[in-house]
Amino acid sequence: MNLQKRLINSNNTRRLTSYLLGLLFILMIASLVIGDVNISIISSLKDILNNKSTLNSIIFEEIRLPRTLLAVLIGASLGLSGAALQGMVRNPLAEPGVIGVSTSAALGAVIVFYFGLAAAFPMALPLGGITGALLAVIFLYLLTRRNNSMLSLILAGVAVSSLAAALTALALNLSPNPYASLEIFFWLMGSLADRSFSHVWLILLPTLIGWWLMLGTRRDLDVLSLGEDSAQSLGVQLQSLNKRIILGVALAVGSAVSVSGGIGFVGLVVPHLLRPYVGYQPGRLLVSSALGGAVLLLAADITVRLLPTQQELKIGVLTALLGAPFFLHLILKSKREWTS
């Protein structure tokens, strides 16, 4: 790639980033304004600044604000993790939901949540999710080490997903709480309804560490796209790159799933849509995918709030409706690889 092209690309990337940031800002405002009851945002902001508690300020501060922040944090984690995983295994189908990382995280969170551990020690909830996610990522990494084909990745993902989902259902049925078994839907589909600031604080630190670990691999990921041997000759430490991404994905996705349930396909759709705009460079894709993921999840969350369903639709239903056809499209597009 010559210098001129490279400059155009980096300009494009910068423009893309500012577009996404602008869009994210607008959606955040919308998310704070849209809700079940009409409240004046300006007067509630005034109340908050004057440290005055009113009905409006409670609805704004305790219901809408944490929900918006969670959508941004979790969406960014999912988009970023998808892009990082795809860069690491050089396979466009790697995504936390598809390869079973989200479901495994849900399993870890469910075990911690329903059997009283999280009640005794709140941090146990994200830690449970992170442990579940970590086990799944390590397993899939070892698998792709030996045989990096699309087929084995997807099939292993199916196996990990169904196993984790079955164990989640088992754990919920064994739980002493009578409502637990009905909540499998939340853990497999995900929702941001009625979450609170305590959830934001719970996942903030592990999420930020996860982001930092993944974003630190930007340069190395770009080089890795040239192939492992070239990357190694250019001084990329593959071991440490892989470790960072595995740990980063586990931290970000594990903590996200532990408060929102498994929301699928965000990490698949977003990097795929943005890839052309960043010159197909996996490193540059990371930041854009994080922003894109936040935008997508926030938009999806606003949509489920607006849909006239009696009970709010689970947000994962919407992302799956959007993402599953995409997934199919990606598979069909790379049909040639199946036959090889």
Partner 1 sequence: MKLKRLLLFSGFFYALVLSANIMAKPQRVVSLNLCADQLLMELLPPDRLVGITQLAADSGASYLYQKAAYFHQHSSRIEEIMALKPDLIIAGQFTSQATNQLLESLGYKVIRLGLPVTVKGIFKQIKFLGEQLDQSDPAAELIAKMQRELNALAAARDRRNLRAVVYYANGFSAGRHTIVNEILNLAGFKNIAVELNIDHIAPLSLEALIASNPDILLLGRLDDNTDSLAHQVLRHNAIERYTALKQVTKIMVPDRYWSCAGPSSLAAAAYLQQNVPDSSN
Q: Are 285 and 87 in contact (CB under 8 A)?
A: yes
**Which residue in 43, 53, 148, 149 binds partner 1 (CB under 8 A)?**
53
User: Per rule CB under 8 A, is residue 119 in the interface with partner 1?
Assistant: yes
Count residues binding partner 1 (CB under 8 A).
Answer: 33
**Which residue in 35, 92, 216, 279 binds partner 1 (CB under 8 A)?**
35
User: Per rule CB under 8 A, is residue 34 in the interface with partner 1?
Assistant: no
Ranges of H-type helices in 261-281: 266-274
CB of 81 to partner 1, least distance (A): 24
Residues 184-223 that bind partner 1 (CB under 8 A): 186, 194, 196-198
Helix and strand element counts for the chain (H, E): 17, 0
Sign of torsion, CA 31 37 42 48? negative
Q: Is the Cβ of residue 64 or residue 272 nearer to partner 1 in the bound state?
A: 64
The vertex-220 CA angle with 219 and 225, nearest 5°, equals 105
Indicate the angle between helix axes 101-114 and 238-260, nearest 10 degrees.
50
Q: Is the Cβ of residue 10 or residue 54 nearer to partner 1 in the bound state?
A: 54
Q: Is the Cβ of residue 115 or residue 141 nearer to partner 1 in the bound state?
A: 115
From residue 100, alpha-carbon distances to 162, 188, 257, 314 in Å are 8, 11, 12, 19
Rounded Cα–Cα distance for residues 29 and 124 (Å): 32
Q: Are 74 and 263 in contact (CB under 8 A)?
A: yes
Q: Is the Cβ of residue 9 or residue 54 nearer to partner 1 in the bound state?
A: 54
CB of 108 to partner 1, least distance (A): 15
**What single DSSP character describes residue 37?**
S
Question: Of the listed pieces 3-11, 111-119, 150-158, 237-245, which binds partner 1 according to CB under 8 A?
Answer: 111-119
**What single DSSP character describes residue 61?**
I
User: Per rule CB under 8 A, is residue 311 in the interface with partner 1?
Assistant: yes
Q: Is the Cβ of residue 74 or residue 247 nearer to partner 1 in the bound state?
A: 74
Closest CA to 111 of 59, 71, 167, 66: 167
User: Per rule CB under 8 A, is residue 170 in the interface with partner 1?
Assistant: no
**What is the SS3 assignment for 225?**
coil
Amino acid at 116: G
Q: Is the Cβ of residue 123 or residue 312 nearer to partner 1 in the bound state?
A: 312
**Which residue in 8, 55, 205, 307 binds partner 1 (CB under 8 A)?**
55
User: Per rule CB under 8 A, is residue 183 in the interface with partner 1?
Assistant: yes
Amino acid at 29: I
State the residues that interact with partner 1 by CB under 8 A. Answer: 35-37, 39, 53-55, 58-59, 62-64, 113-116, 118-119, 175-177, 179-180, 182-183, 186, 194, 196-198, 310-312
